Chain A
Amino acid sequence: MRKVTMTVNGKSVSAEAEGRTLLVEFLREGLGLTGTHVGCDTSQCGACVVHVDGRAVKSCSIFALEAEGAEVRTIEGMANEDGSLSPIQKAFQDHHGLQCGFCTPGMVMSAAALLAETPKPTEAEVRHHLEGNLCRCTGYHNIVKAIMAASGQEMQVAAE
């Protein structure tokens, strides 16, 4: 066991971790931040995507000790300060970008990483960017719509 210190959603945290402790285990079991999901545990599905120093990574495929000193952001850190939904989250709700919601934390984190780099992506860019995020429910169309809408590009809402 070794002590690891990182910033998670703006707060400094310190805890013990084994060499083999994955970042996702550290977040979920160590810190109780269960918003980050484990869908596959084999690096395929993207349900576990978080930001480490501003970049989207699969938290099931990085060890907690490798995040020493890093700024980590999870889905719990995405809402506005007053607790209301951020524009990306709101767009997922408005455009029915989720059904069971299992993939949604990873989708939102991937979308946020895309929009930080490419504020006005094309639909093709959005789809390409989501290659590592699997959804078993929605068929993706409404997820793509939600991300386009969150980027400020006019999209028809799914239903009022």
Chain B
Amino acid sequence: MYAFELERPETVAAAVELLKGDDEAMPLGGGQTLIPTLKARLAQPSVLVSLGAIGELRGVRLDEAGHLCIGAGETHAGVARQAAAHYPALAALAGQIGDPAVRNRGTLGGSLANNDPSACYPAAVLGSGAVVVTNTREIAADEFFQGMFTTDLEEGEIITEVRFPIPQAASYRKFAQPASRFALTGVFVARFADAVRVAVTGASEDGVFRWEEAEAALARDFSPEALAGVSVPADGMIGDLHGTPEYRAHLVGVMAARAVAAAR
């Protein structure tokens, strides 16, 4: 690793101030992605601004509108525990990320800011139609994700909270890549009173995406059978040693049907 300073501010305002003064500074969430990146010398920050000591980035609560609001600094293990009573599908997703030690450090905000094309949380955030809240604004999920490892975040902007509308029924099904535990393909399905949302991760070269054809079919008939006639094209799907684009396109349909069958 190249050398850097590590700061541990206790408020969002102080963190923003530290990031503002220095365009080589970077926020540090749980470090489960960033620390390996630093070891590989793929990033060279001057200062890492750890968000780990900021109490206001923690916690899970319901707001007046009935949205589940989760602090961006909440760990995957914390979400698995605290969201279970309110939004079981989201809690279950958090409880399947990586392994227990990764879940004890990795955070919601870090996962979203990173927007790995195979990460789990982006599917839940897009599939729920959640709102990503930062220190300056609120960003709808449909605008937040902008392709592989790319988001709408600006330099020095910190995700502070994510607000999830709670669906009537939802489920996430991931076909785990057996070595990394990331999603080889994962599908999040959410049924609301007025719409169905389907978000797919791990499959597309453009990162997480909404599968609108499946949404329309499921809005008419929320059953696995309703997906029999729809499919995604292999064009634009990821091809690597774990699976061809055709294989991933097929998995999208399979995991979507399983998610619908399991939705509670």
Contact = CB atoms under 8 A, between A and B. Distances in A.
Given A55-B77, A131-B181, A46 B101 contact: yes
Looking at chain A's contact residues, the main secondary structure is mixed
A132 B8 contact: no
A99 to B, nearest CB: 22
A150 interface: no
A110 interface: yes
B48 A19 contact: yes
B264 interface: no
Which of B5, B32, B39, B101 has its CB near the most chain A CB atoms (within 10 A)? B101
B149 interface: no
Given A20-B3, A55-B77, A132 B99 contact: yes
Contact of A66 (B3, B50, B100): B50
A57 interface: yes
B36 interface: yes
A43 B181 CA distance: 12
Contact of A55 (B3, B98, B104): B104
A110 B3 contact: no
Nearest to A129: B100
Query: Which of under 10, 10 to 19, 20 to 34, or 35 or more describes the interface residues of A?
Result: 20 to 34
Contact of B105 (A20, A61, A110): A61
A20 B38 contact: yes
B31 A63 contact: yes
Interface string A65-77: 1101000000000
A113 B5 CA distance: 31
Contacts of A84: none
Interface of B: 1-6, 8, 31-32, 35-36, 38-39, 47-48, 50, 52, 77, 98-102, 104-105, 181
Interface of A: 2, 18-20, 22, 41-43, 46, 49, 55-58, 60-63, 65-66, 68, 110, 113-114, 129, 131-133
Given A43-B35, A60-B35, 14 more contacts: A20-B3, A20-B38, A42-B36, A55-B104, A56-B104, A61-B36, A63-B31, A63-B35, A63-B50, A65-B6, A110-B100, A131-B98, A132-B99, A132-B101
